[in-house]
Amino acid sequence: MVTGSKWEDAVARQKAHALTVMDKSVPARLQRLSKLKEAIKRSEPELLQALRLDLNKSETEAYMTEIGIVYSEISHTMRHLKRWAKPKKVKTALTHAGSRGVIIREPYGTVLIIAPWNYPFQLVMSPLVGAIAGGNTAVIKPSELSPHVSAVIAGIVSGLFPPEEVMTAEGGVEVSTALLEQPFDYIFFTGSTAVGKAVMEAAAKRLIPVTLELGGKSPCVVHRDADLKLAAKRILFGKLTNAGQTCIAPDYLLVHQEVKGRLLDELKAAAVRFYGDQPLSNPDYGRIINKRHFDRLVRLLQDGTIVHGGQYDEDALKIAPTFIEIADWESPVMQEEIFGPIMPILAYSSADEVVDAVTARPKPLAFYLFTGDRDVEKELLHRIPFGGGCVNDTLMHIATPYLPFGGVGESGMGGYHGESSFQTFTHAKSVLKQTTAFDFAFRYPSARNGLRWL
Ligand code: NAD
């Protein structure tokens, strides 16, 4: 049984370490990152097996969406950290003549990273890379719903870092809740919008700054001029990776009415090309994380008209790629984040219709648009608020360390990846270094008294 005081002691030790021992030198951080990468490399076989057990992730998918992303995050960070961490000199205003401004990126201290189950490795490790690069100590809390991956993470971390530097807290809501009562210096949370609100409420009690990486319904718009064959492949890639259990998966399709029928044909053909006409027996097709989510998704299959798929296997927790034509926005499948391989399809006739419908709902985490029409692209990208997204692709914006990744409004706040991670996990400490070579008398009261006209 985990008690609050266990975490109290552990976090207190990390905080003391962060203040006294944890050195702020870039070489030490680089060494930690390099060791982390080596340890992950050594643990690859266990990790691949754990990802297979928790989510039936194929080896290719595991490399592409979990392990490879973490390697590239570490390599990119190691290449640039020296420059990012260097104190940045800035100009000062005319009123500050003789002085210099400098911004020092300071570690927050001790950070808490809470992660979900859908990318159970990447979503713990990528923020951890940022936390280490920033010079922080960290407590990481992987999801209890992906226990095999959590165990591998705990093994990697405990074999590499003393607990006062980085520590894994395995367990469920009770562990999260106990951790959220501790005086962390920063909280980085990835998960659902509902739990994000609880995390922010807990953080508010101590004014702890937060990054919230949340979810929601991400629209995918296919305009009438789009290359439909290519669009279908890229949309399905985004929808079927990890069986749709991706925070930035295209949640629903908005298709121009003129091309709806043709796009549907291309989608059906692509689904069969990807996983065959018996996807449920394809060993590389992902499964749903647990019975609760499986039942929730099967209930959504009752909605609208199924135009492809609809089969499921309760024992294997698999649901076939399914396209559902729905009549309007009121249908049940449009009321919650789907988080599974089910794609509702709605038709539109004008860009205004798309803007009105999407902006009437919470700001999405991702937005995807398939078109070659620059005017449509400009209009939709400017009029629709969203966390991040792609034109003529899906998911890929998450995989480059040069683009900050994060949500806005109900899909989250703050961002990370690459330099954005480093900024997230450090405070920008502003210092004005004043000259002692001269002094302006007029700033002092005695001088001002003689200069009433000022
Ligand atoms: P979740 O919010 O249920 O759980 C996330 C983490 O919070 C887990 O570690 C869990 O143990 C913990 N937790 C659960 N309830 C809690 C509570 N009441 N108090 C404190 N901690 C609690 O999310 P999930 O089901 O694991 O993941 C799916 C959700 O995460 C989806 O909404 C998805 O869109 C979102 N997500 C977002 C991103 C992103 O980068 N924005 C990435 C992946 C998943």
Q: Ligand 1 pocket test: which of 69, 190, 212 has the largest number of ligand atoms within 8 Å of its C-beta?
A: 190
Over range 215-231, report the average pLDDT. 97
Contacts 24+ apart (CB under 8 A), 4-12: 4/178, 4/181, 6/178, 7/139, 7/169, 7/175, 7/178, 7/179, 7/181, 7/182, 8/182, 10/139, 10/163, 10/167, 10/169, 11/110, 11/139, 11/179, 11/182, 11/183, 11/184
Residue 382: the pLDDT is 97
Residue 328: the pLDDT is 86
Over range 128-132, report the average pLDDT. 97
Residue 453: the pLDDT is 46
- Do 184 and 388 meet the contact criterion of CB atoms below 8 Å apart? no
For residue 143, give the ligand 1 atom closest to its CA.
9
Task: Tell me the CATH class for 1-214+412-431.
Answer: alpha beta
Strand partners, 60: none
Joined tokens for residue 257: 């009415």
Which residue's CA is minimally distant from atom 14 of ligand 1? 173
| pLDDT exceeds 80 at position 446 | no
Q: Give 307-329 as a DSSP string.
A: EE---EETTTTEE--EEEE-SST
Which residue's CA is minimally distant from atom 43 of ligand 1? 247
Residue 68: the pLDDT is 96
CB neighbourhood size of 363 (10 A): 18
* Band of residue 342 on the pLDDT scale cut at 50, 70, 90: very high
Task: Render pLDDT for 28-52 as a digit per residue (tens, 0 to 9).
Answer: 999 999 999 999 999 999 999 999 9
Residue 451: the pLDDT is 54
Which residue's CA is minimally distant from atom 34 of ligand 1? 215
C-alpha of residue 192 to centroid of ligand 1, in Å: 4
ipTM for the predicted complex = 0.97
Write the DSSP symbol of residue 416: B
* CA gap 262, 117 in Å, rounded: 36
- Let me know if the fold of 1-214+412-431 is the same as that of 219-398: no
User: In terms of pLDDT, which residue wins out, 440 or 301?
Assistant: 301
* CA gap 168, 255 in Å, rounded: 44
Residue 1: the pLDDT is 41
Average pLDDT, the chain: 94
C-alpha of residue 257 to centroid of ligand 1, in Å: 36
| pLDDT exceeds 60 at position 132 | yes
C-alpha of residue 213 to centroid of ligand 1, in Å: 9
Residues with CB under 6 Å of ligand 1 are 114-118, 123, 141, 143-144, 172-173, 176-177, 180, 190-192, 195, 198, 213-215, 247, 337, 339, 365, 407, 412
CB neighbourhood size of 304 (10 A): 21
- Do 154 and 166 meet the contact criterion of CB atoms below 8 Å apart? no
Nearest to 342 by CA among 310, 318, 390, 385: 310
For residue 172, give the ligand 1 atom closest to its CA.
11
- Percent residues over pLDDT 70 in the chain: 96
Q: Ligand 1 pocket test: which of 144, 153, 188, 192 has the largest number of ligand atoms within 8 Å of its C-beta?
A: 192
Strand partners, 112: 139, 187
For residue 142, give the ligand 1 atom closest to its CA.
9
Task: Render pLDDT for 262-273 as a digit per residue (tens, 0 to 9).
Answer: 999 999 999 999
Over range 56-77, report the average pLDDT. 96
Residue 303: the pLDDT is 80
Over range 228-242, report the average pLDDT. 97
Which residue's CA is minimally distant from atom 31 of ligand 1? 192
67: left (phi over 0), alpha (psi -120 to 50) or beta: alpha
Residue 440: the pLDDT is 85
Residue 6: the pLDDT is 87
Over range 380-389, report the average pLDDT. 98
Strand partners, 273: none
Which residue's CA is minimally distant from atom 9 of ligand 1? 143
φ, ψ of residue 35 in degrees (nearest 5): -65, -35
| pLDDT exceeds 50 at position 2 | no
- Say which CATH superfamily domain 219-398 falls into: Aldehyde Dehydrogenase; Chain A, domain 2 (3.40.309.10)
User: In terms of pLDDT, which residue wins out, 145 or 2?
Assistant: 145
| pLDDT exceeds 90 at position 380 | yes
Over range 139-157, report the average pLDDT. 98
Burial of 213 (0-12, 13-18, 19+ CB in 10 A): buried
CB neighbourhood size of 324 (10 A): 24
Residue 448: the pLDDT is 61
Residues annotated as catalytic are 213, 247
| pLDDT exceeds 60 at position 452 | no
User: In terms of pLDDT, which residue wins out, 120 or 2?
Assistant: 120
**Domain spans of the chain, in order of start:** 1-214+412-431, 219-398
The percent of the chain in helix, strand and coil, each rounded to the nearest 5, is: 45, 20, 35
For residue 195, give the ligand 1 atom closest to its CA.
2
Task: Render pLDDT for 386-412 as a digit per residue (tens, 0 to 9).
Answer: 999 999 999 999 999 999 999 999 999
CB neighbourhood size of 20 (10 A): 8
